Amino acid sequence: MNSKRSTEILVGLFVAAGIAALFVLAMKVSNLGDFTDEKGYEVVAHFQNIGGLKARSPVTMAGVRVGRVTSISLDPDSYDAKVTINIYPQYDNIPIDTSASIFTAGLLGEQYISLSPGADDFFLQDGDIIDLTQPAVVLEQVIGQFLYSTAEGE
Amino acid sequence: MIELLRSLGGWGINTFQRLGRGHIFLMQMLAGVPSSVFRFSLVIQQLFYVGVLSILIILISGLFVGMVLGLQGYNTLVDFGAEESLGVLVSLSLVRELGPVVSALLFAGRAGSALTAEIGLMKSTEQLSGMEMMAVDPMRRIIAPRFLAGLISMPLLAAIFSAVGILGGFLVGHGLLGVDDGAFWSQMQAKTDWYEDILNGVVKSIVFGFVVTWIALFEGYDASPTSEGVGRATTRTVVHSAFAILGLDFVLTALMFGDI
């Protein structure tokens, strides 16, 4: 009876350890913790070129994450990229003339949207459009321009 | 020449016969599973032998595999100035591949061989036919609880393996090589996806647990009832499990991550 009891306790510990390991993987290792992002308000920005931006890429302001990209689609009229951004509800005082640029973390890292605040008294609301945008810098284009200009200089 | 053809044909027929027996065995085993759910104390006992006793080897191997990944990955990444990505490298390789595969291989060696030997010995000492005499179905009483225990423990063991391995990678990366710990964890969290990476790893380990336990139980049940036969069956369990794990791993990886 006693050995049966200890067997059961050890099995219970084993299952608990396995589930705890899965939980650690979920919360500590994966981005599942981010899925619980509180639903803020959505704004739209149009970019000429989004480079390697993806849905769920971070949106930052002064380096602080203030939201995430929720979806990316092609605007059928203007042929530019329509990027929908979810901004966390506590950042509800972002001026309406804020500009958005796509930057790269490091030389080859992940791409993200950086917002630089404007000075307007009106704040962005759900469904608003960010007018001032700067497309992603595509490394190949920069290198191409550089090579072209050095060739011209000679 | 005729002799060669005949032996080749005999070998082919035997192979197909074993394959068929194995699948009939699988069906009988699955049919026994529901009744063993209602006698869960049997399953718990087997979980102890199959799962709990495998924890130590899983913990130690996981820790060392993670530490080696940390060392090797650092040496490569530091050339590109990307040593902050060490966390991503360690977590993705463990969660997607090494966790399920290596723990399944260890599981086959530690638990699978023990299952085969146990069942094989039961058969050679005629305990199984004794049970049938007493109108106790060995499929339900012996096989199904062990199968269920293997199926339950494998994903748990793989999760423990991955978690400990990531800890080992962190210990080497941060403690020994001085990678910034914030970057290690944040990059890992940014790049490791719950559905895409971790759940697919869990699915892999469930599939491996299914296959390894099936092979182990079938080899034991099908062993020729001599001490030599039990020994050969145990060897076959480990070898066939390793083949099945690595082959299935390729198929599953192609399905999950290959965009085929």
Check residue B206 and give its pLDDT: 94
* pLDDT more than 90, % of chain B: 49
**Domain definitions of chain A by residue range:** 2-32, 37-138
Mean pLDDT of A105-118: 80
Note whether B143 and B32 are within 8 A (CB). yes
Tokens of B252: 């599953």
CB pair distance less than 8 Å for A15 and B48: no
Backbone angles phi, psi at B259, to 5 degrees: 55, 35
Residues of chain A with C-beta less than 8 angstroms from the C-beta of B202: 22
CB pair distance less than 8 Å for A26 and B153: no
Q: Which of B152, B189, B197 sits opposite A33 (nearest CB)?
A: B189
Closest CA to A10 of B111, B141, B49: B49
Q: Tell me the shortest Cα–Cα distance from A120 to chain B, in angstroms.
A: 33
* pLDDT more than 90, % of chain A: 6
With a cut of 90, say whether residue A108 has pLDDT above it: no
Mean pLDDT of A48-74: 85
Mean pLDDT of A107-115: 78
Which of B216 and A52 is assigned the larger pLDDT? Answer: B216
Check residue B58 and give its pLDDT: 94
Task: Convert the pLDDT of each residue in B186-208 to its tens digit.
Answer: 778 878 888 788 888 999 999 99
Check residue A154 and give its pLDDT: 61
CA of B149: which chain A residue's CA is closest? Answer: A11
Closest CA to A18 of B140, B48, B163, B15: B163
Cβ count within 10 A of residue A120: 12
Note whether B126 and B113 are within 8 A (CB). no
Q: Which of A11, A22, A30 sits opposite B189 (nearest CB)?
A: A30
With a cut of 70, say whether residue A103 has pLDDT above it: yes
With a cut of 70, say whether residue A1 has pLDDT above it: no
What is the rounded CA–CA span in Å between residue B156 and residue B133?
37
- Which of B45, B46, B47 is the mutation pick for testing A, counting most A CBs within 10 A? B47
What is the rounded CA–CA span in Å between residue A119 and residue B3?
93
Residue type, A15: V
Check residue B156 and give its pLDDT: 93
Task: Convert the pLDDT of each residue in A86-99 to its tens digit.
Answer: 888 888 888 888 99
Check residue B161 and give its pLDDT: 94
CA of B156: which chain A residue's CA is closest? Answer: A18
3-class DSSP state of B100 = helix
With a cut of 70, say whether residue A35 has pLDDT above it: no
**B164 interfacial to chain A (CB closer than 8 Å):** yes
| Chain A to chain B Cβ contacts (< 8 Å) | 84
Mean pLDDT, chain A, integer: 83
Check residue B20 and give its pLDDT: 92
Mean pLDDT of A14-23: 86
CB pair distance less than 8 Å for A11 and B189: no
> Mean pLDDT, 10 residues at a time, over chain B (260 residues)?
90 90 90 85 88 92 94 88 83 91 94 93 89 86 90 93 92 86 78 83 93 93 88 93 93 80
- Report how far apart, in Å, the C-alpha atoms of B117 and of each of A145, B220, B221, B258 are: 70, 6, 10, 38
Note whether B98 and B65 are within 8 A (CB). yes
Q: Per this entry, what is the length of chain B?
A: 260
Query: Any residues with CB less than 8 A from the CB of A34 and at least 6 apart, and which?
Result: A56, A68, B189
Interface residues of chain A, partner chain B, Cβ below 8 Å: 4, 7-8, 10-11, 13-15, 17-19, 21-22, 24-26, 28-35, 106, 110
Closest CA to B163 of A27, A31, A12: A27
**B155 interfacial to chain A (CB closer than 8 Å):** yes
CA of A20: which chain B residue's CA is closest? Answer: B160
Check residue A36 and give its pLDDT: 52
Check residue A2 and give its pLDDT: 67
Q: Which of B157, B190, B198 sits opposite A18 (nearest CB)?
A: B157
